[in-house]
Each structure stands twice: as structure tokens, then as C-alpha cells.
């Protein structure tokens, strides 16, 4: 079995509170993008993992794909295993949910390969044990996600958008970004209701005023290259540009694929980690059964 596990962008990211256990309460608009990791799953007696592509990741116990497989095996009591291969393309430490996408892809794929019969809500609940973005990476679509990632509301989406994604610098530690956010002065919060309505209608104009990511200012202070990449995307014709997640990747939204391709030809010479991609509906796509 082979499948594509897609990354995501945060159209909007807001922090609405802090739980007693230290987890942040979020209000986010998220959507998958076509930039993906390829996952191959084959039946096996034991669990094994090979990680290839770029960026290079060690195929050890920290890899979310292997942790997802072990969690599903333990939860269902499945007696066998699988040979897992992950070919990376989604940048790491970028706020694009690459590790979460791999975990979601393995849960989704092994549930079918092993015939363990879990429903999507059951997989989402299991995925939350691995990370806050895993339930979304299982579900896909345009969603408004609240809480710590478990409260997802599906939204209709009028259109998809061509994007250029740039990771202009090394990855950021999510923990360090959140700590810096709490130490920062009051920041401007996005109008998530207006942003959701604009995305539902496919209207870029109000998005420019309503979108926002409360983590962007602190991430830019930690990595000024993020701010420069956002500015360069706007200068290159992006209708709007924003950081996704806690960074360090940023994305620019273009009105047409032709405009995105024209901008990409020059931006790719400035940043090796630049990707021509676009929003889409599905987070996981099977390419070979």
C-alpha cells in the first residue's frame, strides 16, 4: 500500500487560553496542501521503519510514523507488524504538520492494511495521543479547530488556492515559540469568524484584513528571515502572506497558478526550501493499494 500524507497550512492561528495542565487552547483555520510525504506500508511480522527523502530523519523511536504504528498495534491488539517506508518532502520544524501527517498516514493506512476496523473518529481520538495536529491530518478539508486539536468543525470551501511555501531558515522549537509568546507584549488577534466566512465564500479581499497568526511576531523576532520571506512573497505578487503554525515556514497565496509559477522561478533561487503547492481537500490520498 502506498499513500500520500499531505502537510497543512494555518490560515489563521489564535490562542484563546491555557489549561491547568499547561496545554494551550487554540482557535485555528487549517487546510491541507498538496506538498506531501510518501508512505509505503507492507505486511510484516514485526514493525520496522525506513526514512528517506529530505529532510533526513532518523528512523528511531522518536519518529512519529513508528510511534503511530505501535500505538495502533497496542490499541487494537493486532498480532502482526508492517514494514513502513516514509519518503520525506514536507519540511521539518516548519509548522506544516509533517510529522503529524506521517503519523496520520500510518494510522489511516495500517487500519486498512491490518483490517482493524477503527472509524475515523476513533482514529482521530487515538491520533490526539501523538500530537495536536494528527486528528486534523486524518480528517483534512477546511476546518476550524479549537481546544487542543480535538474540536474540529468542517467548513465548506469555495475554492483552492495556488501557494508558494518557503522555509527561509532552520526550524523553530514550538515550546520556545509559545514561551516567547507569553513573554511578549499584547499582540493583535485575528478575526477568525470573518476569515472563516471569507474562505467559505472564496473571497480574498477580506482575508487580507482578518487573517493572522499570533505566534508570527515572536517567531519573526527569533528568526528575522521569516519576516523577510513574507515581505518578498508580497513583493513577488502574493495576495497575502503569512507564517504557518509556529514557523518557520511561510506561505504566499496567489490569484492564479500562472502567477504563482512566475514568482516561484525567482524565489526558488533565493531559498532552496521553496515549494510550489496549493490548498486541497484531502489530507491522505491512496496511490497504490
List the catalytic residue out of 14, 37, 102, 133: 133
- Distance, CA of 124 to CA of 136 (rounded, Å): 8
Q: What is the 3-state secondary structure (H, E, C) of 147-184?
A: ECCCEEEEECCCCCCEEEEECCCCCCCHHHHHHHHHHC
Catalytic residue selected from 8, 73, 88, 232:
8
End-to-end CA distance of the chain: 4
Is residue 46 flagged as an active site residue?
Answer: no
Nine cell digits for residue 39: 508512505
Question: Between β-strands 47-53 and 81-88, what pairing exists: parallel, antiparallel or unpaired?
Answer: parallel
CA-closest candidate to residue 91, choices 107, 80, 102, 106: 102
- Quickly list H helices, the chain: 64-76, 98-113, 120-127, 134-139, 174-183, 192-201, 204-210, 216-222, 224-235, 257-270
CA pair distance 243, 287, nearest whole angstrom? 30
203 is a catalytic site residue: no
Q: Rounded to an integer, what distance in angstroms lies between the CA atom of residue 289 and that of residue 282?
A: 17
CB-facing half-sphere around the CA of 58: CA atoms within 13 A = 3
Active site residues: 8, 133
Amino acid at each position: 500500500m502506498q499513500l500520500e500524507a499531505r502537510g497543512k497550512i494555518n490560515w489563521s492561528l489564535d490562542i484563546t487560553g491555557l489549561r491547568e495542565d499547561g496545554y494551550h487552547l487554540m482557535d485555528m483555520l487549517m487546510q491541507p496542501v498538496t506538498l506531501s510525504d510518501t508512505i509505503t506500508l507492507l505486511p510484516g511480522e514485526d514493525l520496522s521503519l525506513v526514512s528517506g527523502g529530505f529532510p533526513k530523519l532518523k528512523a528511531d523511536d522518536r519518529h512519529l510514523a513508528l510511534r503511530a504504528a505501535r500505538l495502533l498495534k497496542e490499541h487494537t491488539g493486532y498480532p502482526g507488524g508492517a514494514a513502513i517506508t516514509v519518503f520525506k518532502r514536507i519540511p521539518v520544524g516548519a509548522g506544516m504538520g509533517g510529522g503529524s501527517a506521517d503519523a496520520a498516514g500510518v494510522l489511516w493506512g495500517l487500519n486498512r492494511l491490518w483490517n482493524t476496523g477503527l472509524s475515523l473518529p476513533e482514529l482521530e481520538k487515538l491520533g490526539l495521543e501523538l500530537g495536536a495536529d494528527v486528528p486534523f491530518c486524518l480528517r483534512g478539508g477546511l476546518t476550524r479547530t479549537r481546544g487542543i486539536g480535538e474540536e474540529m468543525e468542517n467548513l465548506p470551501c469555495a475554492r483552492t488556492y495556488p501557494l508558494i511555501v518557503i522555509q527561509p531558515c532552520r526550524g523553530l522549537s514550538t515550546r520556545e515559540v509559545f514561551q516567547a509568546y507569553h513573554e511578549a507584549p499584547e499582540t493583535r488577534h485575528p478575526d477568525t469568524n470573518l476569515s472563516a466566512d471569507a474562505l467559505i465564500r472564496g473571497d480574498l479581499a477580506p482575508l487580507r484584513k482578518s487573517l493572522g497568526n499570533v505566534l508570527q511576531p515572536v517567531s519573526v523576532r527569533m528568526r528575522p528571515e521569516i519576516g523577510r520571506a513574507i515581505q518578498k512573497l508580497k513583493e513577488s505578487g502574493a495576495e497575502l502572506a503569512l507564517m504557518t503554525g509556529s514557523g518557520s515556514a511561510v506561505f504566499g497565496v496567489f490569484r492564479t497558478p500562472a502567477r504563482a509559477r512566475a514568482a516561484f522561478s525567482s524565489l526558488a533561487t533565493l531559498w532552496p526550501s521553496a515549494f510550489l503547492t496549493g490548498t486541497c481537500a484531502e489530507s491522505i490520498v491512496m496511490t497504490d493499494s
